[in-house]
Structure 1
């Protein structure tokens, strides 16, 4: 989700798809395992993970380099690591990167067509970077101006249809690239507005930002129409676990507003919010 300074390097993805292809051929075994042989392929669920920082595990562990230049991921446990460590699951590629927009994810899809062609399961999240949710929080915080926040929220709302259309194009490309089960994961509500005003954000602005996030999730859900992708919501599992709650599953370092993990799930959020949402789909694929 974040467009922090380290992740701005990801703009190179949009500039040169050829460079992505060249670098992905050097993926490590952990990020791009060899496909199983014909003898054992029926016993294995081949898995590919794509998407933005929510798919890259930001908020859990520490910052680590991903499988190609400019790609950043979290090193800690997440729904992706849980799936990958499941018996009879073979992780072909983990090509999710913080900062990727929908169009950049399409570039990655084109670059790893071989892995996607062999995939039985694909997970991803997409769309939040197109809106720059982190920037909206900065404008709408208690340190900002109401007029600037209103303008930013209005601009974000106007952008939603464009984000949805771009997401649909990316998902259509993904659908054409794999016959596997595609799971599109949404975003949790970041704030618990019922907790009242907080030092960083008033309850009213928390509701405004949550509402914009809801609109984004609706657009992403609509973007799956006309494809074989399934839209998976995690919002219910994150209820009462947003920022401001007594048990937040969203990471936020108040001492460092530039912490790249801010506004992402914690390890608990990934393991108790995201992983249960995909577990039933995984179970259907396992032998």
Structure 2
């Protein structure tokens, strides 16, 4: 009422200090970045740096790589400490993790060359060679080792990792040698059982989603990514990139995250 009266008096020429209240802009979301297998949170450094320069609060979390149920609970504990809203971003296996998070603060999801399983599906179904041929993530490049793991049976687990000489051509063929060296130094092994763990109710069913397809991916076949993006009704961007698009094309990936945050 006061705003209406002020506008009316100003319109007929009565001298007042005319200040009409305006709606406050919505707060910028916090962007939470979840890395995938064979990497750690430093894989997001390029993307995070761009977004922070633009004024976004960015949190890159440590994904334990033990399985979707376990890891989504770990990431959700971080989300609970943050003010809302949140844009949740997952690369590769990190997509399966964000799919299993249902925090009401999360208003947008971004999948980057990522798994987006449905309820009761294992992530391995997205790289089924009969349906989606082309993945090169196979032995002998993919190797196994026994690791100490408090979440495993008897305190141990069987983990997968990519052999160092095969890592560039399979995971990151468009990444510079210097960056490859850093990525190898930060490679984290991945619980082999996580590939077969059945996913829970998918967050993408009720949350607006974006998807960045890596057209030259040698880990998750591009056809599998396109089908995943279509199924989750994502706004989709495709870039000519390896699986490690967040490292080789950080500006393009940050741009899609910015769209989701906007």
Q: TM-score when scaled to structure 1?
A: 0.37
Larger Rg over CA atoms: 2
Structure with greater proportional strand content: 2
Structure with greater proportional helix content: 1
Q: TM-score when scaled to structure 2?
A: 0.39
